[in-house]
Structures are given as structure tokens and as C-alpha cells.
């Protein structure tokens, strides 16, 4: 039997599902904690993956500036891990960010081997801009954070804007 995996922009109807996906990993300090309000307020940064019709994964792309964005809140439901969904979510973020003209993407992670398979290289945390840490200061592990910073240059990533607005033809000279 074949199954369908679809990555798409998140909608308000996904907020509860996103919250449920993130919560267990936030409780283990693997990702930053987000309440429902926070997810609503950043909803336009989220992509979700559906496995058939189930919400199977989520990722958030946060832009800090022209030259840097972060892939964060990446979670695939344990029931659907190792099906290629994490890879699809990160690649969709990269295409989306490349389409917006962002030069480089980074992640702070405990799964550096997963990111290495996607072409990310380890960099020193000190090389990241200071504004990156404005979120991290709220983490209980901030003082002794052992996450690894990884980054990827997006210049080779195909440009694929996620939002395609139909071309409208208008009359006029």
C-alpha cells in the first residue's frame, strides 16, 4: 500500500496539532518550549508535513536578516520518524528561504548527523549573530547548552517560492 507525504504551510487549524507535536520534545529540552499563543503569532513561519492525512511533522523557519535564518522547532512524530519526513521538512524550508533571498540557514541541534546528511557543516556558536541568543536566554539550559551549531549556504538551493499567487490578467493600455 502506498502512502502520501505532503509538506505545506501551516494553517490556524494546525495549531493544536503543532503544539502536541512540540510539547513532549520541549519538556525534554530538545527544542524550545512554545505555547499556543506563540505558535499562532509565528504561524506564517511554520511548515507542516502530513503522512496521508495525519499531521506527522513540523518545522519553523525564522529569518534574522538578509544573510541568516534559523531552522527551528523541527519535530517528526515518533510514529513517523525514519520515513524521510524530517529531510523533506528541512529541504522545504531551504527552498522557501532561498526563494525569499536568504543566504544562509543554521540550526542549533543535538542531531548534527541528521543535518550533516543534508549538507550542513558544524560551525562555532560564536560565529552566529548575537540576536540569535535573544530566544535562547529563555531556555533552562542556556548556561550549559551543549547543542551544536550547524549551517548551510543556500546559494545552490533551487529557488522555489512556497506561495504562488496566480497571475491576474487586466485590461488596459
Ligand X SMILES: CC(C)(COP(=O)(O)OP(=O)(O)OC[C@H]1O[C@@H](n2cnc3c(N)ncnc32)[C@H](O)[C@@H]1OP(=O)(O)O)[C@@H](O)C(=O)NCCC(=O)NCCS
Nearer to ligand X, 135 or 163 (CB): 135
CA 117 to the chain's CA centroid: 16
**Reduced to 3 states, what is the DSSP secondary structure of residue 114?**
helix
Alpha helices in 71-111 (DSSP H): 85-99
In the complex, least distance from residue 166 CB atom to ligand X, rounded to whole angstroms: 32
In the complex, least distance from residue 107 CB atom to ligand X, rounded to whole angstroms: 5
Task: State the DSSP H helix or E strand holding residue 104, giving kind and residue range, or none if neither.
Answer: strand 104-109
Query: Rounded distance, CA 114 to CA 106, Å?
Result: 13
In the complex, least distance from residue 72 CB atom to ligand X, rounded to whole angstroms: 7
Query: Rounded distance, CA 20 to CA 36, Å?
Result: 10
Residue nearest ligand X by beta-carbon distance: 86
Nearer to ligand X, 47 or 75 (CB): 75
In the complex, least distance from residue 56 CB atom to ligand X, rounded to whole angstroms: 8
Chain residues that interact with ligand X, rule: CB under 6 A: 25, 30-31, 74-76, 81-87, 107, 109-111, 113-114, 117
**What is the end-to-end Cα distance of the chain in Å, rounded?**
55
Nearer to ligand X, 53 or 173 (CB): 53
Nearer to ligand X, 66 or 113 (CB): 113
Amino acid at each position: 500500500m502506498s502512502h502520501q507525504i505532503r509538506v505545506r504551510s501551516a494553517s490556524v487549524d494546525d495549531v493544536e496539532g503543532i503544539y502536541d507535536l512540540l510539547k513532549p520534545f520541549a519538556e525534554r529540552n530538545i527544542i524550545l518550549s512554545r505555547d499556543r499563543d506563540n505558535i499562532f503569532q509565528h504561524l506564517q513561519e511554520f511548515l507542516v508535513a502530513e503522512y496521508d492525512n495525519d499531521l506527522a511533522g513540523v518545522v519553523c523557519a525564522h529569518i534574522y536578516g538578509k544573510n541568516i535564518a534559523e531552522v527551528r522547532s523541527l519535530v517528526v512524530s515518533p510514529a513517523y520518524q525514519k520515513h524521510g519526513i524530517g529531510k523533506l521538512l528541512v529541504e522545504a524550508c531551504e527552498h522557501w528561504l532561498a526563494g525569499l533571498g536568504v543566504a544562509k540557514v543554521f540550526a542549533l541541534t543535538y542531531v548534527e548527523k541528521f543535518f550533516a546528511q543534508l549538507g550542513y557543516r558544524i560551525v562555532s556558536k560564536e560565529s552566529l549573530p548575537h540576536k540569535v541568543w535573544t530566544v535562547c536566554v529563555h531556555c533552562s539550559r542556556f548556561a550549559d547548552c551543549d547543542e551544536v551549531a550547524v549551517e548551510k549556504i543556500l546559494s545552490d538551493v533551487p529557488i522555489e517560492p512556497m506561495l504562488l499567487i496566480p497571475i491576474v490578467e487586466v485590461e488596459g493600455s
